[in-house]
Structure 1
Amino acid sequence: MLRTIAALGIVAVVLFCSACSRSPRVTYYTLTPALPAGAVQQAFSSSVAVGPVTIPELVNRPQLVVRLTPNRVDVLEQHRWAEPLKNEIPRLLAQDLAPLLGSGRVFTYDQVSGAAARYRVLVDIVRLEAIPGDSVVVEAGWVVRGAANARREGRIEVREKVAGSDYDAVTAALSRALAAVSAEVAKSVRSEASGVK
């Protein structure tokens, strides 16, 4: 009888220890383009290279970072980006710009030599903030470089409502905010292409 109780005790301890040693489940997130590939507004034949794109060091990490108070953030160990934001954001901007410009020749800077592109878009994201259940804020500036060192600059701050209390809603709002940045960048590229002051 004592052997049975001791054996059951050992099994219980082993099961308890194995349950404790399991790592918490990690959820991975990606950003999504706002417009389908076929949503073309107007044909644009010139090539465009997007990048480099700079982002704040605060969010330049695998984990999602959310704002809790004006002076406090939370780095979410169990909620991570599927790929680094410094790689994903340029690709998302290029995917959003292609249908806005009506061009199949919009690439990230690392996909094509900057010299091979007619226009180059440099983006500096100075603020990328998420407040779960409330909003995300993206503040960005950009420069569109054309031929003969011509350049056009722009800046925008976008606030998108988070439609839900989970982190899927946060990443969806961030995708929408970056799409709004892309829409303004597209206007700058078109203005530079047409020579409008």
Structure 2
Amino acid sequence: MMFARLPRSPRGLARAAAYLGACAGLLALAACSSSPPSRFYTLGADAAPVTARSTAAPALLIEVPPVDVPSQVAKNQLVVQTGPTQVQVLEQDRWASLPGDEIRRALSSDLTQQLGTIDVYGTAYPEGTPVYRVSVNVQRFESWPGSHALIDAVWSVRAVRSETVMTCRSTVSTPVTAGYDALVDGHRQIVQQISTQIAAGIKAMAAAAPRVATAAPAKNGSGVPARIAPATVPCPLPVGPSAALDGAGGLAGTLVGGLAGTHTGAQG
């Protein structure tokens, strides 16, 4: 005698569905656990021992606003060159923060250490202390694994509350070995070289500022103060064999005082 198979109970169907869902979850978990972990890089210097610092007010202050970088590399993933017209975006190798933020933070740290000062960007500061604003525009940020790292940047230093401006351009390239650790370390060394140039420019401007401020304006035949010829401070010399400034002498920053107009630098 033949018997017809009875349909499964709703409880049996629910149990089968739950079993299939659990299996799918386990497979997804196994797939996720087998994917390579992400690695994060930073341009910050190696951690140094914390030492006591003087609480005396610094002779000058700096402001380091956000740094502009090319849109092609303005992302969390490392972007490396694979050819003259080709790049590769690395999903597992990433910056700890956006490259512009990494450069700004590294510059700020280097400059405050070299100048014995603090970065007051976004904070209040004393009225009588000279402040120098450092603006950086990175025009090329190239990463060639196993070959070299390169940064081409135009930067300026402006004395806040005055018309004193120095504008320069630094192009720095350094060879690197294979591996992304070496590539990031190459960029860190480049930022340190550029910050050393900027620090030298700030020191030169600070040294020349008192001479401009105390110079008595000459008068012409009619008794009207004559236009003061601006004192010029050349861009600091390149640091290291792989560094270069724009042209043979770079851009010469111009210190402007008295009745002179604003200058952003002239070819040296």
Shorter chain as denominator, the TM-score bin is 0.7 to 0.9
Cα distance in 2 for partners of 1:105, 1:14 equals 52
Cα distance in 2 for partners of 1:114, 1:128 equals 33
Cα distance in 2 for partners of 1:55, 1:135 equals 18
Q: What's 1:139 paired with?
A: 152
More helix by share: 1
Residue of 165, 171, 184 corresponding to 1:171: 184
Q: What's 1:125 paired with?
A: 138
TM-score scaled by length of structure 1? 0.79
Q: How many residues align?
A: 180
Contact 1:34 1:179 in 2 (8 A): no
Q: What's 2:89 paired with?
A: 75
Is 1:51 paired with 2:62? no
Pick which of 146-155 and 174-183 moved more. 146-155
**Could you say if the C-alpha distance between residues 132 and 70 of structure 1 is closer, same or farther in structure 2, counting changes exceeding 3 Å?**
same
Contact 2:66 2:101 in 1 (8 A): no
Deviations 1:132-191 (A, max 9, x none): 0111000111110014121011111000111x3111111111000111110111111111
More strand by share: 1
Residue of 175, 180, 188 corresponding to 2:193: 180
**Mind listing any 5+ residue stretches in structure 1 that lack a counterpart?**
1-9, 39-43
Cα distance in 2 for partners of 1:78, 1:132 equals 15
Identity within the alignment, %: 30
**Could you say if the C-alpha distance between residues 113 and 74 of structure 1 is closer, same or farther in structure 2, counting changes exceeding 3 Å?**
farther
Cα distance in 1 for partners of 2:91, 2:44 equals 22
- Structure with max Cα Rg: 2
Contact 1:93 1:182 in 2 (8 A): yes
Contact 1:65 1:75 in 2 (8 A): yes
Contact 2:135 2:156 in 1 (8 A): yes
- How large is the Cα RMSD of the aligned pairs? 2.9
Say which structure, 1 or 2, has more relative contact order (CA 8 Å, 6+ apart): 1
Pick which of 25-34 and 114-123 moved more. 114-123
**Could you say if the C-alpha distance between residues 141 and 93 of structure 1 is closer, same or farther in structure 2, counting changes exceeding 3 Å?**
same
Q: What's 2:76 paired with?
A: 62
**Mind listing any 5+ residue stretches in structure 2 that lack a counterpart?**
1-19, 52-57, 209-231, 234-268
Contact 1:35 1:96 in 2 (8 A): no
Give the secondary structure class of the aligned counterpart of 1:53. coil
